[in-house]
Amino acid sequence: MIDRVGKLSLSVHMAKIMELLERSLKANSKNYNNPSLGYFFIMNNRRFIELEVELYGLGPIIGDDWLRKNRTKFQQNLQLYHRSSWNKIVNILKLDINESPNVETELLKDKLNSFNEHFDEICNVQSTWFVFDEQLREQIIKSIDNILLPAYGSFIKRFQNFLEKQAYEYIKYGIFDVKEHVNNLFLVRE
């Protein structure tokens, strides 16, 4: 928008600044070898920017349109974060098995071992990540719980049905253990 003197309005300048900031965020996110951490970086920074806009009353200058787009882009990055990390673990738990009981039992054991290995790895890595805002942390934890816990619960139920009492020899994590591990993510403080 151009005012009467022919100068660009403050909101147009702010839009350009925000666009440059977004490009910088995206470029900096590519510096991480782990794509999940890149998406996590963007989510953390988008939330920080949104809180700063609220804190300093910049909403009217930046505009509702930018805030809506920011929230949409945040959700997109949350989905990409899941796809590059947690969805891989959930996919391990998928059961499309129509084999004999002996073969299926061995496949279930292999899947459980693979889950344990990947779950340990992802928890070890992501437990070192930092979320500056508790509300954001809770949102991410809840989103992980929503995809991981139902899949793990279904898998363990089927595993127990096949192995009965022997199942407990192989189960490293109960559903509450998985939830506790996820709840302990992103607590690192600098």
Query: In the predicted model, is pLDDT for residue 166 greater than 70?
Result: yes
120 with 187, same domain: the answer is: yes
More confident residue, 97 or 21: 21
94 with 184, same domain: the answer is: yes
Strand partners, 187: 130
Quote the pLDDT of residue 175: 97
Compute the average pLDDT of residues 136-147. Answer: 98
What range does the domain containing 76 cover? Answer: 1-84
Query: In the predicted model, is pLDDT for residue 185 greater than 80?
Result: yes
Question: CA-CA distance, 45 to 25, in Å (whole number)?
Answer: 8
Q: Residue 18: how many CB atoms within 10 A of its CB?
A: 18
Compute the average pLDDT of residues 21-46. Answer: 96
- Of 55-69, 124-138, 156-170, give the range with the top mean pLDDT: 124-138
**pLDDT tens profile 100-129:** 666 788 889 999 999 999 999 999 999 999
**Last residue within a domain, chosen from 36, 69, 84:** 84
154 with 101, same domain: the answer is: yes
13 with 100, same domain: the answer is: no
92 with 80, same domain: the answer is: no
What pTM value is reported for the model? 0.88
Quote the pLDDT of residue 164: 87
Quote the pLDDT of residue 66: 87
113 with 143, same domain: the answer is: yes
120 with 64, same domain: the answer is: no
| DSSP letters for the chain | -B-TTSPBPHHHHHHHHHHHHHHHHHHHHTT-SSHHHHHHHHHHHHHHHHHHHHHTT-HHHH-HHHHHHHHHHHHHHHHHHHHHTHHHHHHHT-----S-HHHHHHHHHHHHHHHHHHHHHHHHHHTT-B-S-HHHHHHHHHHHHHHHHHHHHHHHHHHHHHHGGGGGGT----HHHHHHHHHTTTB---
**Last residue within a domain, chosen from 63, 84, 105:** 84
What's the number of domains the chain is made of? 2
Question: CA-CA distance, 4 to 1, in Å (whole number)?
Answer: 10
27 with 108, same domain: the answer is: no
116 with 190, same domain: the answer is: yes
Q: Residue 137: how many CB atoms within 10 A of its CB?
A: 19
Q: Read off the CATH number of the domain in which 184 is found.
A: 1.20.1280.170
Compute the average pLDDT of residues 61-77. Answer: 92
89 with 153, same domain: the answer is: yes
Give the model's confidence band at 6: pLDDT under 50 very low, under 70 low, under 90 confident, else very high: very low
105 with 184, same domain: the answer is: yes
16 with 106, same domain: the answer is: no
Give the model's confidence band at 16: pLDDT under 50 very low, under 70 low, under 90 confident, else very high: confident
Give the model's confidence band at 12: pLDDT under 50 very low, under 70 low, under 90 confident, else very high: confident
Task: Please tell me the least confidently modeled range out of 9-18, 63-72, 79-88, 134-143.
Answer: 9-18
Give the model's confidence band at 63: pLDDT under 50 very low, under 70 low, under 90 confident, else very high: confident
**Last residue within a domain, chosen from 84, 103, 137:** 84
